[in-house]
């Protein structure tokens, strides 16, 4: 078994639990800006996560030219699921492309500098970034009165 694909499949199953949680919210709450989180909404944070896959894996690793995800255009969980289907395709393309070359470094712009990053770093960064914001999304949902189910990593 390809360990990275297996790991990403667990992430997808875990993401599904977050989607189901978000589907319990009213559409207005899903897009409501939360003051205590810097005036961002659950939907915009969700879009930010998907955009991270686009930037780090699509643009920086694969050298693709991909349009930015416009958070304002993603006003429902169903639309967000579609955005993540595209992210999934990008992740699998990345994993197929780099499955035997995880150590070579790639130059990547980072703020005003350029750094050398490995494919392993790029993959790890995107998945840990998703889980960081997943926790924030759950906390935002709690603030809006939605009690989440257990949100452990899916098996």
Radius of gyration of the chain (CA): 16
Domains of the chain in start order, with CATH, are 3-143 (1.20.120.450)
d(CA 71, CA 94) in angstroms, rounded, equals: 24
Give the pTM.
Answer: 0.87
Strands 33-34 and 113-118, by their bridges, are unpaired
Per-residue pLDDT 10s for the chain (155 aa) are 488 899 999 999 999 999 999 999 999 999 999 988 888 999 999 999 999 999 999 988 888 999 999 988 999 999 999 999 999 999 999 999 887 665 556 555 554 556 677 788 889 999 999 999 999 999 999 999 999 888 777 76
């Amino acid at each position: 078994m390809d360990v990275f694909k297996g790991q990403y499949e667990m992430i997808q199953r875990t993401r599904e639990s977050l989607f189901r949680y978000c589907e319990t919210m009213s559409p207005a709450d899903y897009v409501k800006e939360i003051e205590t989180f810097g005036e961002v909404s659950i939907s915009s944070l969700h879009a930010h996560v998907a955009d991270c896959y686009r930037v780090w894996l699509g643009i920086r690793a694969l050298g693709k030219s991909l349009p930015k995800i416009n958070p304002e255009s993603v006003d429902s969980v169903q639309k967000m699921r579609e955005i993540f289907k595209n992210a999934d395709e990008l992740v699998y393309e990345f994993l197929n492309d780099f499955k035997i070359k995880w150590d070579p470094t790639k130059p990547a712009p980072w703020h005003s500098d350029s750094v050398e990053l490995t494919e392993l770093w790029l993959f790890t960064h995107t998945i840990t970034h998703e889980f960081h914001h997943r926790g924030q999304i759950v906390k935002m949902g709690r603030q809006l009165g939605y009690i989440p189910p257990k949100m452990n990593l899916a098996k």
